[in-house]
């Protein structure tokens, strides 16, 4: 653990690249910025950028990752003050994710991120994305457990698996939201709500001994 010079230089270089990329993507937009120009600004060669981040989209992904903690914090905050209706909780979960996403990148750029993460297919760099997903699914699972404990979600359902289902439903609606420049956040919210209400229909526990035929 000597943390030699070589090691420090690597960290420094990767930070420089990230710093430059953040600034330029922000001010000029993803497409307008070339890897070559990022490399120049960061005082490395273009090949070095590729060695560090693999692809242009991955560089973007590394940037996105920086905001992960904030997103996780927001979702954990939701866990602290959950609405009475479990469906509202899930809908809000989706809304938080959508809003968060839109504050960091444009739809155009999100498409780039999603497309490249599909292309990479879980390999090498592509795993960054998956790691976050797992954490988020975990939070969703926690929420399900809470509703089960307070008796408003039937305990027959396996929380983790169900959380995964809900999360992926939210995920594909996000893909669609991002793929359609005309779809506003309000519409996206409506669509996901419809999903959630359909999925939860009669899945809640009714306390006043209701009868179904």
Partner DNA sequence: TAAGAAACTTTAGTCACTAAAAATATAAGT
Partner DNA sequence: ACTTATATTTTTAGTGACTAAAGTTTCTTA
Which residues of the shown chain bind a copy of itself in the complex (CB under 8 A)? 107-108, 111-112, 114-116, 118-119, 121-122, 154, 156-158, 161-162, 165, 168-169, 171-173, 175-176, 178-181, 194-195, 198-199, 201-203, 205-206, 209-213
- Picked from a copy of itself, DNA, none, the partner binding residue 115 (CB below 5 to 8 A depending on kind) is a copy of itself
- Picked from DNA, a copy of itself, none, the partner binding residue 131 (CB below 5 to 8 A depending on kind) is none
- Picked from a copy of itself, DNA, none, the partner binding residue 57 (CB below 5 to 8 A depending on kind) is DNA
- Picked from a copy of itself, DNA, none, the partner binding residue 157 (CB below 5 to 8 A depending on kind) is a copy of itself
154 near 181, Cβ under 8 Å?
no
**Any contact of residue 207 with DNA (CB under 7 A)?**
no
Q: Say how many C-beta atoms besides its own lie within 10 A of residue 76's C-beta.
A: 11
Task: Give CB contacts under 8 A, 24+ apart, made by 73-76.
Answer: 74/100, 75/136, 75/139, 76/139
Rounded CA separation 32/53 (Å): 18
Task: Give CB contacts under 8 A, 24+ apart, made by 36-42.
Answer: 42/13, 42/16, 42/17
153 phi/psi in degrees, rounded to 5: -125, 130
x/- letters, 80..119, toward DNA (CB under 7 A): ------------------------------------x---
């Amino acid at each position: 653990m000597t943390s030699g010079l070589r090691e420090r230089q690597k960290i420094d270089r990767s930070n420089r690249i990230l710093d430059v990329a953040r600034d330029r993507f922000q001010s000029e937009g993803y497409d307008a910025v070339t890897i070559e120009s990022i490399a120049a600004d960061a005082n490395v060669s273009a090949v070095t950028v590729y060695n560090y981040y693999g692809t242009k989209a991955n560089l973007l992904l590394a940037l996105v990752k920086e905001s992960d903690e904030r997103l996780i914090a927001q979702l954990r905050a939701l866990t602290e003050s959950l609405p009475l209706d479990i469906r509202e909780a899930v809908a809000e979960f989706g809304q938080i994710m959508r809003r968060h996403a839109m504050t960091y990148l444009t739809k155009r750029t999100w498409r780039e991120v999603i497309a490249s993460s599909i292309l990479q297919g879980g390999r090498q760099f592509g795993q960054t994305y998956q790691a976050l997903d797992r954490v988020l699914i975990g939070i969703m699972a926690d929420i399900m457990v809470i509703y089960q404990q307070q008796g408003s979600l039937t305990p027959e359902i396996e929380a983790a698996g169900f959380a995964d289902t809900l999360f992926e439903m939210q995920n594909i609606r996000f893909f669609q939201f991002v793929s359609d420049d005309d779809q506003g956040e309000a519409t996206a919210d409506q669509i996901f709500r419809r999903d959630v209400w359909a999925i939860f229909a009669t899945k809640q526990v009714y306390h006043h001994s209701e009868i179904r035929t």
